[in-house]
Amino acid sequence: MNVNINTQVKASVKLVIFVVLLVGVAWGGIQFGFNRIYVPVGWSLQLKYNGPPLPFLPGSRPACAPNTFAKVDENGNPLEMGILEEMVGPGRHFYCPLWWKTKLVEDIIVEPGEVGLATSRMGKPLPPGEILVEGGFGTTVHKGDLRKTFGPGAYRINPYAYTFEKQKCIETKSSRSQDSKSKNQVKYSGWLKIPTGYVGVVTNMADNLKTDTIKGLQSKVFQPGIYLLNPRDRQVDVVEIGYRETSIAANQKRDRDGNLVLDESGEPVIADDKSGVGFPSNDGFDINMDFTAIWGVMPEQASDVISNYGNVDVLEDYIRDEIESICLNAGSKLKAVEMLEGKSRLEFQNKISEEFRKVLEAKGATVLNGLVRHIYIPAEVREPIQEANIADELTLTRVQEQKTAETEGSLREAEEKVLLATEQVKIDTDKLVAEKLALGMKTAEETKAETIQKVAAIDKQTAEIEAQATVLLGEAESKAKQMQKEAKADKFKLAVDAFGSGDAYNKWVFASGLPDDIKLNFLYAGEGTFWTDLKGFTETMLGRQTSQSPRQTRTKARPPLR
């Protein structure tokens, strides 16, 4: 009975394992065969949850509102049917095509030198008066063009919510017409590089509440540098800063070799009467003039120049017109001869320069110089005056030549005086040198004699000191020997006092000199025993002598006590 039960249990376990394996293999086949989606690098996967294909299957959800993303719970599971905001990145993902709709979306790569511009496709309409949307991806509330720009990098953007475009440096050209003058006005945006010597005049295309700036031309300019600008937000005019030169000059005739053609008085001949600054004088003569203006635009003036003229080229055209107008008004009030003579000519030039400065500063430019370089006077006016002036100059030349001759004579006289004074100074110098040399020799001999005298005195003092040193050294040596003798005597006195008597000290000295291995034989010699004891005495002495034959006993000599 138990055997049958165990067999049934084993069979049930095997069946369960088989079923589990079968289900696992089937599920793996479904996952890798139908549900698997591979997202390559540089791409993202847009997800749309459609719910179950049949009503009785689990997963049914309500549909999301139009132009919105489907809501998800904290784990990312959809709560509504629709497109999910978050897109998954590269890798292997598993989504059942019966419940999900997927779409591969390529990531947007903004290269260096490019700028990315985005537009929100969902959200509330912008308030009246606003044209740009604040915020970035996932944070925008309104639909429309984003104010924010996107620099180089990779961006994963859901195309259901945003559109994206890439641009390089953007040039916006427009034509500005004033008084029959038309110049192209170029505004820049995107990646903008303002080089050294230039500034950027900013035009806001819309109000910006974050920076508290309003739409229109801004007084504050961009300094040289690199800027990233949204063309829908700001555009910039690049203006060169500093001084520049504007000249109006008459065309002068030249021969085939390129040399200037001069008239009889040496003045250049004008090729075209209409060139340069031309105007009639008060007495009806045609006058031509060369004028050069050194002017410029400073950073604080750049905004006004763009506002009033559109660009600097238009301002330069106005400057040319003002030069001609000022010269015409001032020159037509004078006669031709007044523009030739020195004083009236100088007043005319200064008047034009000052008037030009006032007019140009009123137009928002800085003037360094306004110069009348040359005035072409007709020959019929110039030649009589020049001939009279030449005669006067010749007279002045003769007078000056006479003065020059007188001055040259004075110069020669002065040169002779200089030579005489030079010789006198040389003689005086030699005399002073001889006197100083003799005085120096005398001083040297006196110093030598004084030195010898001082050396003898020092030698005498040295001898006296050496004699004193010899006496002191002898006394010291004698005193030292005396002290040594006294110390030795005191030593023996102390030794005798220690032994009690001189005899005891002598015995101690004698005993200290005896060898350590001495042998003592006592002989008794009594009355009538001398011969009987002689044999023992002889042996004793001989034995003592034999035992001491290999070495000699030395005793330390001590001085006897006296």
pLDDT per residue, tens digit, the chain (562 aa), is 565 667 777 777 777 777 777 777 666 666 666 778 899 999 999 999 988 877 767 778 888 988 889 999 888 888 999 999 999 999 998 888 888 899 999 999 999 888 899 999 998 998 887 889 988 888 899 999 999 999 899 999 999 999 999 888 777 765 544 443 445 678 888 888 899 999 999 998 888 877 778 888 888 999 999 998 888 888 899 999 888 888 888 877 777 877 777 766 667 777 766 677 878 888 777 788 888 888 889 999 888 888 888 888 888 888 888 888 888 888 888 787 777 766 778 888 888 888 888 888 888 888 888 888 888 777 666 666 655 566 556 677 877 878 887 888 888 888 888 888 888 888 888 888 888 888 888 888 888 888 888 888 888 888 888 888 888 888 888 888 888 888 877 777 777 777 777 777 777 777 777 776 766 555 555 555 554 555 555 555 555 544 444 444 444 444 444 4
Element at 118 (helix H, strand E): strand 115-120
User: How far from chain centre, in Å, is Cα 500?
Assistant: 103
Residues 6+ away with beta carbon under 8 Å from 349: 371, 372
What confidence score (pLDDT) does residue 557 get?
43
335: exposed, middle or buried (Cβ count in 10 Å: 0-12, 13-18, 19+)? middle
Helices 502-512 and 379-499, interaxial angle, to 10°? 110
Sort strands 108-110 and 153-155 into parallel, antiparallel or unpaired.
Answer: antiparallel
First to last CA, the chain: 143
Element at 222 (helix H, strand E): strand 216-222
What confidence score (pLDDT) does residue 45 get?
93
CA distance 370 to 277: 14
Task: Supply the Cα-derived Rg of the chain in whole angstroms.
Answer: 65
What confidence score (pLDDT) does residue 315 get?
86
3-state secondary structure of 203: strand
CA distance 487 to 480: 10
Contact status, residue 241 vs residue 296, Cβ threshold 8 Å? yes
CA distance 418 to 410: 12
Q: Which of 45, 55, 56 is nearest to 100 (CA)?
A: 45
CA distance 161 to 155: 14
Strand segments (E) across 266-360: 277-280, 286-297
CA distance 145 to 232: 8
526: exposed, middle or buried (Cβ count in 10 Å: 0-12, 13-18, 19+)? exposed
Please tell me the pTM assigned to this model. Answer: 0.53
On the CB side of 218, how many CA atoms lie within 13 Å of its CA? Answer: 23
Contact status, residue 35 vs residue 53, Cβ threshold 8 Å? no
What confidence score (pLDDT) does residue 475 get?
83
Residue 139 tokens read as 């944070």
